[in-house]
Amino acid sequence: MDERKLVILAIAGEEDAFVKLYELYYTRLYRYAAYTLRGVHDAEDAVSEAVADAYAGISRLKNPDAFGTWIFRILSNKCKAKMREYYTSSDLDVTEVPEEAENIDMALNLSVKQMFMSLPKKERMVIGLSVFGGYDSREIGKILKMNASTVRSIRKRTLEKMAREMND
Amino acid sequence: MAMDEKKMIEKLDESTKDITVPKKLLPENIMNTINDSKKGKKVIHFESLRRSGVTKKLAGVVSAAAVLIVVAVAVYRLPAGDKSAENTMQFMDATEAAGESMVIAQTGNVSSYDEVYKEFEKHKTPQPSWFERIFYGREEKYMLTEDAVYNGALEMETQAAGTVAENMSSWNEAGESADAAAGAGYSKTNVQTVGIDEADIIKTDGQYIYYASSNLHTVTIYRVNGEETEAVKNLYVEEVGGLSEIYVDGDMLLAVGDSYRNEKYQIVLAKYDITDRKNPKLVGTFSQEGNRIETRKTGDIVYVVTEVRRNADNIKKNVPETFIPSVCDKLLEPIDIFIPDETQGTTYTVISSVDIKGDLKQIDSAAVLGFNGTFYMGNESMYLYRTRYATSESGEFAYSSGERFTEIRRIDYVKENGLIGAITEGKVPGVVKDTFAINEYQGYLRIMTTSYPGYSNNESVNNVFVLNQELDIVGSIEGLAKGERIYSARYMGDTAYFVTYRETDPLYSVDLSNPESPKIMGALKIPGFSEYLHAYGDNLLLGIGIEQIPDKDGWNTDYIKLSMFDTTNPYDVTEKNKMILNDANDSMALYEYKAVMIDPQKNLFGFVTESYGNRTNGTSNKDCYRIFTYTDSGFVELVTHEVEKGDVYGTRSVYIGDYVYIVNENGVTVYSIAER
């Protein structure tokens, strides 16, 4: 079924349409949250909060084509807030807080998955949105309120780094 | 993005797939979760109270749909005229699927409003506790606020309703060719079922073009004669509220609109006598409560389908208006109201037949409670269908056992006199992409669905089902094209064609000549996929779709693609010709079949395309209306008419003789197609 139509119906207050729309996104949303937050319980909370917010706010969504980026942005903000809770870092967008697992050089034989998990958080979000959201740099920029070129360079750097790790 | 980046992303995607989504977040539980999540914040809003009602409804929906097996029950109502419920003749026929238990659903009309009221009571939001009452202040205040919230929501609903209804039609219907128009020398609306007309924003009778603009609330009547066009009348249509579409039949113009009148959302028809095109006269109006789903016209009868939502919390026992829909501002009688056993929610689908010979008198009506869905009208019956979620009997969600299925209701009607008759229910596994995939033919209903047994899109399979009059499955092919899903479908008599998509575009042909034993005849794999199929003469099938071509960064870009399939031998279908429009990335034709002007006998078709501009090959970003013809050596683009960005959705065309008229709010442009 056409997503755009579902969005229009959902904006008009059709719960069924909202549920169907959610169905199109939920695995991607959950995977994104799980890998960004590195915890299934936190991911569950983040997704349910984000979906509740989306449900409460969908009537205000102006552009029916922007549902995907919109809900990923809500979820990204939830993830950021959760990470802030843990790390009490003031602003994720400007501060790259080093994390213990960041040094992936140490982790020989890490699976791709583990490599992913051990990325710094901003990188995890950028890559997560590429992998689970299928978004391009411009869209990711919108979601994370970053420059598209910054997104591109983060993505390139991170993916290259991961590719190197894998080949090692 | 570089290719190796893309590969890495794919690798990440692959290696992170094995994660299991918690139960709480599964689609069928999400409304409960949303509700809990709000409660967890310890802030109780009026809104969330309302929502708890909503959640209840949804929960009810899930458990009521507890059985996947195909059960069809027919309850026949005598035609209108005998208004006694006791005389309602019932017979039931249920088929039991092997090894599974059976639930018999009963569909029946009611004998009194009280029965309807009782049904609504089940959907009431629990009353607030003493604590909540203190919390919110006086109960009256709470009720008031509730009303305000609900009405606010409703208002918003209808604002969007116009758009919704407009959009609904695009994925709602299965088309048959406009071949019927052939010989008339001018194009007709591209319709779902030959012989059943549909309202549209543009109509022609060969001498005049009628164009309805919802922005301007006007129908513009152009007299056309070859290259000469003259606007003879700008008819301001105020009787119907928001003008949406029109019908034209001889000297009759019927305007269809959505309005808010007498505190109700209504669909309104207004009939004009246009014997004098310069001076149309209003003859009569018809109104039916609800949001417009569809209208259809056969001969002198128009069928009006609306969806009426009522809030169980706002009903009053002694005020039937609060829970009974009305047609022409008159409440429907109990005999016209159906409450199927598997009623889900408090939305009605209301169907009326209207006599358009006179001044729009109501002929018959039927309101089905608790069922709203997509509408398809064949020559014998009308159908509503919708997707539901299967659950196991314990109420637990069980993807493995059932996942999604499609519920179907058939509503019989008598073409000759407009009486609306029996209601029959049935179910098939899987999801219907659009009504191109559902088709009534010689007493059978054929449906193609995509089902997702493993709940992952990668494990989708496709099916073809043939259902008999009782909506029992009598023949099927299941498990086709694993991992792909149906993008477009078309039935041509005994043969069904469908296109599935993952990476390539297999066009399947299915032999349905023996309804009880459908057979796959062939599959053709080509790049891209068709979103719309249309029979083009006897042995050709036109596909309008998308081909994805990677740009220099490795991202796929969509381009509009035309395919001509040769179906001379259904066992060996070939793609005879194709054309990729390298400056067109999207088209209304993919979403709204009425946006396609097509007449295979005239060898002409046209539709509007949108361009996003292309960084790679530097093509323009112009939106165009294009007219094509087809020769043995391929497609030929006869006309490329640039359309302003804002006019894309309202630009349509008709042809009359050797001229094509491209029409939008700005007027008419004429192209001669004579020299081809």
| pLDDT tens-digit readout, B281-307 | 999 999 999 988 899 999 999 999 999
Q: Taking 60 as the threshold, does the pLDDT of residue B413 lie above it?
A: yes
Taking the C-alpha atoms of residue A145 and residue B238, their distance in angstroms, rounded to an integer, is 46
The phi and psi torsions of B205 (rounded to 5 degrees) equal -120, 15
| Predicted confidence (pLDDT) per residue in B622-672, tens digit | 889 999 999 989 999 999 999 987 788 889 999 999 999 999 988 999 999
Residues of B in contact with A112 (CB under 8 A): 11-12, 15-16
In this prediction, residue B101 carries a pLDDT of 25
* Per-residue 3-state assignment (H helix, E strand, C coil) for B122-147: CCCCCCCCHHHHHHHCCHHHHHHHHH
Taking the C-alpha atoms of residue B425 and residue B370, their distance in angstroms, rounded to an integer, is 13
pLDDT average, residue stretch B30-51: 47
- C-alpha triplet B560, B563, B565: angle, nearest 5°: 165
In this prediction, residue B210 carries a pLDDT of 97
B16 closest CB neighbour out of A2, A116, A159: A116
In this prediction, residue B505 carries a pLDDT of 62
- Per-residue confidence band for B63, with pLDDT thresholds at 50, 70 and 90: very low
pLDDT cut 90: percent of chain B above it = 34
C-beta atoms surrounding B20 within 10 Å: 9
What 3-state class would DSSP assign to B199?
Answer: coil
Taking the C-alpha atoms of residue B294 and residue B483, their distance in angstroms, rounded to an integer, is 33
| Predicted confidence (pLDDT) per residue in B99-125, tens digit | 222 222 334 567 788 888 888 888 776
Distances (CA, A) of B374 to B379, B380, B546: 17, 17, 25
Element (H, E) at B363: strand B361-369
Taking the C-alpha atoms of residue B386 and residue B431, their distance in angstroms, rounded to an integer, is 8
Taking the C-alpha atoms of residue B252 and residue A23, their distance in angstroms, rounded to an integer, is 46
| Predicted confidence (pLDDT) per residue in B245-285, tens digit | 999 999 999 999 988 877 788 999 999 999 999 999 999 99
Amino acid letter, residue A35: Y
- Per-residue confidence band for A14, with pLDDT thresholds at 50, 70 and 90: confident
Tokens of B506: 């297999």
Taking the C-alpha atoms of residue B332 and residue A44, their distance in angstroms, rounded to an integer, is 47
Place of tokens 């919108």: A142
| Predicted confidence (pLDDT) per residue in B521-565, tens digit | 888 877 777 888 999 988 899 999 988 787 665 666 788 999 999
Residues of A in contact with B9 (CB under 8 A): 127, 130-131, 159
Amino acid letter, residue B370: G
Amino acid letter, residue B255: A
Residues of B in contact with A47 (CB under 8 A): 25
The total domain count for chain A is 1
Q: Taking 80 as the threshold, does the pLDDT of residue B137 lie above it?
A: no
- Per-residue confidence band for B614, with pLDDT thresholds at 50, 70 and 90: low
CB spacing of A49 vs B37 below 8 angstroms: yes
| Predicted confidence (pLDDT) per residue in B398-411, tens digit | 334 346 788 898 88
- In this prediction the ipTM stands at 0.82
Amino acid letter, residue B523: A
CATH number at residue A101: 1.20.140.160
CB spacing of B30 vs A19 below 8 angstroms: yes
CA of A156 vs chain B CAs: smallest distance (Å): 7
Residue range(s) defining the domain that contains residue A119: 3-167
C-beta atoms surrounding A124 within 10 Å: 22
- C-alpha triplet B206, B294, B214: angle, nearest 5°: 65
| Predicted confidence (pLDDT) per residue in B423-477, tens digit | 788 889 888 888 889 999 988 999 999 887 765 556 788 899 999 988 999 999 9
Residues of A in contact with B1 (CB under 8 A): 136-137, 152, 155-156
What 3-state class would DSSP assign to B555?
Answer: coil
- Per-residue confidence band for A86, with pLDDT thresholds at 50, 70 and 90: low
C-alpha dihedral over B23, B25, B26, B30, to 10 degrees? Answer: 120
Name the range with the highest mean pLDDT among A44-58, A152-166, B189-203.
B189-203
**Average pLDDT across chain B, whole number:** 75
- Per-residue confidence band for B232, with pLDDT thresholds at 50, 70 and 90: very high
What single DSSP character describes residue B380? S
Which of the residues B4, B15, B16 would you substitute to probe the A interface, choosing the one with the greatest number of A C-beta atoms within 10 Å?
Answer: B16
CA of A89 vs chain B CAs: smallest distance (Å): 24
Taking the C-alpha atoms of residue B54 and residue A46, their distance in angstroms, rounded to an integer, is 23
User: How many contacts (CB atoms, under 8 Å) link A and B?
Assistant: 129
Spatial contact of B409 and B385, defined as CB atoms under 8 Å apart: yes
Nearest CA-CA partner of B26 in B391, B359, B356: B391
CA of B347 vs chain A CAs: smallest distance (Å): 11
CB spacing of B21 vs A27 below 8 angstroms: yes
pLDDT cut 70: percent of chain B above it = 74
